[in-house]
Structure 1
C-alpha cells in the first residue's frame, strides 16, 4: 500500500519513500551489511528516515507468514522504536531519547508494527499500547489519516482495520462520534454508475472523490476486515458491481474495478513525475492480494502471472518491503514463495536483513499447502457460524473484551 498526499512537505517525502514499495524504483542495495549510521538489526540498507518501521514490519510479517522465525534483534529493534504513548514514528535514530511534539509519529507505521508484532508474538504489551494510541487518534468520522488528526483516507483507515482484526479487536466496536472505521471507509467507495466501484484515497482539493487503484486495493481488504496478510477468499463471492453497497458489496465493487484495471495489461500502471506510464509492481501485488481475498486465487491469476514473470528484478532493487509484498501476493493465491516464477522470495527477503533464527517446526509446507489448509478450515467453520466466510473474512463479531485480553496475554508469552 502506498501512503500518499499528506499535508506537509516532510510527510509527503515520507509518502514517497514508503510508496517505493509499490512503484518501480532503483532503491537501496539489498545487501544486509550496514553502514555506520545503519542499525545492523534493520532490514534494507536505504535511508530509514521515512520507512524504517514500515519495512521492518513488512519483513517480519512476511517471514512469519512463510514460517521463518525472525532474528530476535530485528524484533527488538522494532519494539524499541515505539514511543511512550504507544505510537511509532518511521525512524528514531536514538530510541533512548523520548519522543516529543517534533517526533513525526503516524498511523501507518503504527498499524503495520501492530500486525507484525502480533504475528511474531511475545509483545502483547507493545501491541496493546499501540492499539490504544490508534484508538486515541481516531477521527470523528470513524477513520484515520496518515498523521494523527489529519483527514481520514482509505489507505490509512484500511491499515488500522487490519491491525484491529489481526489482534482480534472488533472494528465495529472501535467508534468515535458513533462512527466505526467501516463507516469511514465506505465514504470513499465510489458508485458503479460513475466510477466502476473503485475507492478514492480521499477528496482532492476541490472536494471530489476520484478512483484510485492503490486505495481500491486497500479498500477491498479493509471492507473484508483483512490485514496485510490475507488468504484466498471464497470463490462464490462474485465481483459484480452494484450501487448502494454494504461492506461486502463494496469489496466486490472494488474487486471488479481492479479486475478491469489489471485486465488491460495484466498489471497496474503509474506515472511518476510526469513520466510516461510504467508498470506499478507494488500496487499490482496489492491488487493480487485484494482480488484473491475477495473472490479466490483464480480472480488474481493474470496479475499474479505477470508478477511471477517480471517482478524479481524490482524486488531485488527495491528491498525488503517489495519482497514482502510479493510474499503476501503468493500467500493470498496459494503460490509457493520459494518458487515464485523461479525466484526464491524468502531467500531474497532474508538476505536483506539479519539472519533469521530458523524455521518453525511444522512450517515446512509450501504456501499452497498452508492456503489450502486455511480454506479447509474456513469451509468447516462455515457450517456453524462463519457469517463472513463467503468473502474470506476471519471475523467473529461480538467477541467479549475478556477474550481479547486473554488472546493478548497469550501473545505476551515468549
Structure 2
C-alpha cells in the first residue's frame, strides 16, 4: 500500500513526522505493508518516509515573499507530477502548504480521480475574511478533511466538506518534552536566572523582517535585566551563521542551540516568538509568551487595502479558543517598545503570568485528548 504525503516548511515536517509514525503503527496493527513517499523534511525521513524532495527551505508567507520560491516550487511540482504519473499512490495526504498542495490535488483530480485525497491540517482559510475562493479550492481537492482546530472543523462542515475534528497533534508530542526543572538542569541554568527564549524564524524571510526588531527588544531587556540570558533554538541549522553574527552585532548574552530545542523552550521564563506552531508548544509547556509577525510592507498593504483581508487572531494559541490569550504584535505594532513593555509585564508581574497560564488551561481543553495522530491515521485507513 503506497501513501504519498505532501507538505513543506518546518512545522509541516514536524506534523508530517508524527502522522507517519502513527500510520506505520496502524499498518503493523492491521497487518499491512506500507510505503510512504513524501515531500517534507528530515523529521519525516527519520520517521520512516522516503523523501522525494526536501521542501522545508522553500516555504514563504506573503505575496512578494513568495517570488524567490516560485521556480523551486515549480520544479518540485514537475518532479511530483512525474512521480505520481509513474507510481500512482493508493492514497494522498496533503498537509497545509496551500500553493503546491492545491496544484497536486488538482492534478490528482484530473488524472487519478479514483485516488482518495485527505487534507490534514488545512490552510487557515477559515481564519481570514477573504476565504471564499480558498475554501472552494481546499474542499475541491480532498475527499476528507481532518481538522486540528474545533472552529476549523465547524467552518468546513458548514461549507459542505466532509470534515472531522481529530485534535491537535502536538498533544501527542508533549510527553517527550523535559520538565522545566530537568530542562534548566540540562542547560545549566541556575534557579534564580532569567531564561528568555527567542524564536525569530522558520522561514528565510522571517530572519529579515522579525530578527532585527526581536533583537532590538532583547538588547533593551538585557540592559534592564543584566542577568537575563537568551536562548535561541534553531528551526533549521542553515540559519545559525546569520543568527550568531547578529548576536555579536547586538552584543546579546545568548546561546544558539540546535540539538536542545525542547530544553530551550521548556526552561524559559518567557518566550518572544514569531507566530506559528511553536506558540502552541510554549503554551502547553506553560511558558508565557509574546507573539509578533511582520511581512514586506507592500505585501501587508495589498492584503489590507486591496484584498481587504482581516483576521481575528494570528497566533494559533488565540485561534484555538478565539480569544486573546497571548499578546500579538503584527506589522506596525511589532515594535521593540511594545515587546519590551509586554516582556516586563510578564517577567515582573506574577498576576499577569498567572492570568496567561490560566488561559492556557482553557486552550488545552480545546486541543483534544492524547492519541490525535492515531485517530487521524484511523480516519485515513478507512478510505482504502
Relative to the length of structure 1, the TM-score reads 0.31
| Structure having greater relative contact order (Cα 8 Å, sep ≥ 6) | 1
Structure with higher Rg: it is 2
Report which of the two has the higher share of strand: 2
